[in-house]
Amino acid sequence: MKPARLYGAIFAAFALIAAAVVCVHSPAPGADAYDSATTIARPGADISDAYLFPSPANTGNIVAVMDVNPGIAAGQGLNAYFDQHVLYQMKFDNLVASEAQGAAPTENMVVQFSVGAAGSGTQQIFVYGPSAPNQTGANDTLLPQTGSGYINKAFQTTNGLTVFAGAREDPFFFDSTQFYKMFPDRNGGSTAQSCLPVSLGGNDTCPQGFNNPGTDGQANANVLSIVVEMPRTLIMPNGVGKIAYWATTGTTTGQ
Amino acid sequence: MMISRTFVAAFAAGCTLLALAGCSNDPTLAGTNTGTFIQIDRVGRPALDTIFVPFAQHAANDRGTPATDVKVLGPEISTFMTQTAGRSAAVAAAGESLLLTHNADVLLADFSQSGNAGYLGVETSGKIGQVFGGRGLTDDVMTADLGIAFGNALVTAGLVADDGKENNGQAGTPNLTSAGVVPVRHITAVFPYLGAPQ
């Protein structure tokens, strides 16, 4: 093989390996990252964190966030795309305060997102809702579309949502490495022995527990974030009262 | 030679893009689908799975709904607190009750309140977090959750009497309540608020 071809083949192999590594991600998780075999195999559907907070820019607005695809390495954020086979959903129950005793929240307002095929550095984002879901529970169908835009660019929908879907610095922080040394069975079902004192079932190699200072396991890591800012009244009648929020992902195959 | 190099480089770049964008082989595009989507992941309160539930049981919670949380998550939280954390039955019950307020793993916010978000604020009337509740981008949620399991967060919030079984770095115990992380993040005051990718 000529040197040029040999170098090219080596480069090609390296590129494929690098891409595969990005797909399986680094071991630094978000709060709920890598939490099942299904989501490990499909990182684009792996929800690491959800946030809900008042808009810093407009007190009449609320901001909902769901982060997926955790552990995107530094410098790779703009090369990451949402999974085109996944339905992303923000679910709300604005009647949570009046649910019957013993009842659990049930979504009565949802915002859905899907994406187009990735290519040429871009990807189309589709928005549906917020409106009442077609059905409640773990199975879902698409609502009427209310807007669309592109990855890594903020856009507006016709019904008053400001949306960003794309790569962001992971805001979650935690000394996940030390945590998994102390509780290894939480790390993908590892059977390694805990480093905690013998009295806590460990081998006493970390009797101090967490270190101080600890290590920020998510420093310089990125996620794919879906960020929605909207008037509170879009998901809550009169814009006041208690609300429950949770995020979900789903596929037509359940895998 | 130039053609070969160009071809190989293009092939490598193409493979990279495919591998980065795909990571799946499901043939059905979500955006044009009129069928049913089956839930595979769900997140409400942060890290309940990560801290309180063994990995093998995560999928049941991921695929469940708030209506299944008391049955699926409740026993796991109780078991972790009594066996792993060594807490009393009363403290374990208080922890389970707090983390499953309204019988579910959801974030709770009170739009009637002004001020900033603060994890567990609604559940504790502001004794933990801020009264708005929800979850802010800078909330130290792991310290909050670990403080429930291993510290005196429940006692400080007035939810239960102290059982004296904390592992919080005091009196010669290991510190299992605070990870000692001082994060450097680039949160912004303008939309989308999360920092630019690193």
Q: Please write the tens of the pLDDT for every residue from A141-157.
A: 999 999 999 999 999 99
Q: What is the pLDDT of residue A18?
A: 39
Enumerate residue ranges in chain B where pLDDT < 70.
1-33
Inspect the interface and report whether the beta carbons of B141 and A43 lie closer than 8 Å: no
Inspect the interface and report whether the beta carbons of B108 and A59 lie closer than 8 Å: no
| Neighbouring C-beta atoms of residue A121, cutoff 10 Å | 12
Mean pLDDT of A166-186: 95
Query: CA-CA distance, A201 to A170, in Å (whole number)?
Result: 33
Instruction: Return the beta strands (E) in chain A as ranges.
Output: 47-54, 61-72, 87-93, 109-115, 124-131, 139-140, 145-150, 155-156, 162-169, 222-231, 242-251
**A14-63 pLDDT, tens digit each:** 444 333 333 333 444 667 888 888 898 999 999 999 999 999 999 999 99
**A188-242 pLDDT, tens digit each:** 878 999 999 999 999 999 999 999 999 999 999 999 999 999 999 999 989 999 9
**B123-134 pLDDT, tens digit each:** 999 999 999 999
Residue A11 pLDDT greater than 50, yes or no? no
Chain A contact set for B70 (CB, 8 A): 104
Q: Please identify which residue in the block is written with the tokens 């839930």.
A: B39
CB-CB contact of A250 with B39 (8 Å): yes
Query: CA-CA distance, B51 to B44, in Å (whole number)?
Result: 14
Q: What is the pLDDT of residue B95?
A: 97
Q: What is the pLDDT of residue A137?
A: 96
Distance from CA of B174 to the nearest CA of A (A): 5
Q: What is the pLDDT of residue B30?
A: 60
| Neighbouring C-beta atoms of residue A108, cutoff 10 Å | 17
Q: Over chain A, what is the mean pLDDT?
A: 89
A101 compared with A45, residue with greater pLDDT: A45
Structure token digits, residue A159: 């019904």
Inspect the interface and report whether the beta carbons of B23 and A23 lie closer than 8 Å: yes
**A61-82 pLDDT, tens digit each:** 999 999 999 999 999 999 999 9
Residue A114 pLDDT greater than 60, yes or no? yes
Chain B contact set for A59 (CB, 8 A): 114
B171 touches chain A (CB under 8 A): no
